[in-house]
Structure 1
Amino acid sequence: MLPFKTILTAAFAAAALTACAAPHGKPHPRAEHQGQRMNSIHSIESKYGFDETVSRLQNAVKDKGMTVFAVIDHQAAAKENGLNMQLSKVIVFGTPKAGTPLMVKDPAFALQLPLRVLVTETDGRTQAVFNDTRALIAGSKIEYAEVENTLANAEKLIRKVVTE
């Protein structure tokens, strides 16, 4: 039987590789919304290098009064286990002021929070990859109007930080 740490590390590595495997610059179509195809994941090319993109995103989140709960370095975890992969960090962020009312309304929505953004680099191109807000709330008891001034603003912030 494999040790739990080995299984956990393999699961994280698989998740990161899956997220990074899609064609860059194109959103992943995964969800249906009112009969139309909806992009559930966005991948935006950053005009900055990997480290600067990570730093800019962390600072922007903090400047907006949100908390960076964790930064998961998938590449470092892979290296610790003798594996190689591209640069890959997931920034986990949010604010209880925005998330708590949503989780009170729909406790299962806690599986979608806090928000996350993946920063990865392949072929010298840095990408910010994140969930679409409408896809995030799909199937929940949460209406878009309840998140358009909170969760949806996180999408706008990510886009702005990596492209301006």
Structure 2
Amino acid sequence: MKPALILSVLAAATLAACAHSHNRSSSAQPDHSAAEQPVQAVASKYGFDETVARIEKAVKAKGMTVFTVIDHQAAAKANGLTMQPAKVIVFGTPKAGTPLMVKDPYFALQLPLRVLVTENNGKTEAVFNDTRALIRGSRIAYGDVENTLANAEKLIRATVSQ
């Protein structure tokens, strides 16, 4: 066999192996079925500022850390733009996240958790990634997160609706 042909075959095999090893999901198209929406939106029975404060307080009360709060409306205003109130609360705890990132290092792109509080037409909502959608395509099983990430989702729901 000629050296050029051998190199071509090796290159093709290497590219195929790389493509296979980095394809982490079962399909190229995301599944947006009703059973597994990528985000969940929950109407808050509180105003915008109170919803943000309640979520921050609830997260801290459960021993999690609020790493930062991103105020999109303030950033827009600082750049001469206007938009509805929108803050993203970034939170989590290494006790829950570290074992997941050890199991699947790519999962670090999904952590820490985030919740958007926004207001449209006078109605405040808390919007967050659905737990099952968050782990889809990862090496993380629902059983690995049902007592951690899934509980954060329940905490947000309860905090804004009770």
TM-score range, shorter chain: 0.7 to 0.9
Residues 22-71 of structure 1 show CA distances to partners (whole Å, capped at 9, x for unaligned) of xxxxxxxx9428x8752110011000000000000000000000000000
3-state SS of paired residue (2:147): coil
2:113 corresponding residue in structure 1: 115
- % of aligned pairs identical? 72
Q: Which has the higher contact order (CA 8 A, sep 6+)?
A: 2
3-state SS of paired residue (1:120): strand
Residues of 2 paired with 1:151 and 1:39: CA distance? 16
8 Å CA contact 1:133, 1:155 repeated in 2:
yes
Provide structure 1 residue ranges, at least 5 long, that are not aligned to the other structure. 1-29
Question: What are the residue-to-residue correspondences of 1:63-142 with 2, within 5 Å?
Answer: 63-142=61-140
Residues of 2 paired with 1:116 and 1:49: CA distance? 19
Which of these two proteins has the greater Rg computed from alpha carbons? Answer: 2
Question: Counterpart amino acid of 1:81?
Answer: N
Residues of 1 paired with 2:67 and 2:90: CA distance? 5
Question: Counterpart amino acid of 1:152?
Answer: A
Residues of 1 paired with 2:90 and 2:34: CA distance? 29
2:42 equivalent to 1:60:
no
Task: Please identify which structure carries the higher helix content.
Answer: 2
The 3 A distance-change label for structure 1 pair 36 and 84 is closer
Residues of 2 paired with 1:60 and 1:120: CA distance? 18
2:42 equivalent to 1:44:
yes
Aligned length: 134
3-state SS of paired residue (2:54): helix
TM-score between the two structures when normalised by the length of structure 1: 0.79
- The alignment's C-alpha RMSD in Å is 1.6
Q: Which runs of 4+ in 1 moved over 4 A?
A: none
Residues of 1 paired with 2:85 and 2:38: CA distance? 23
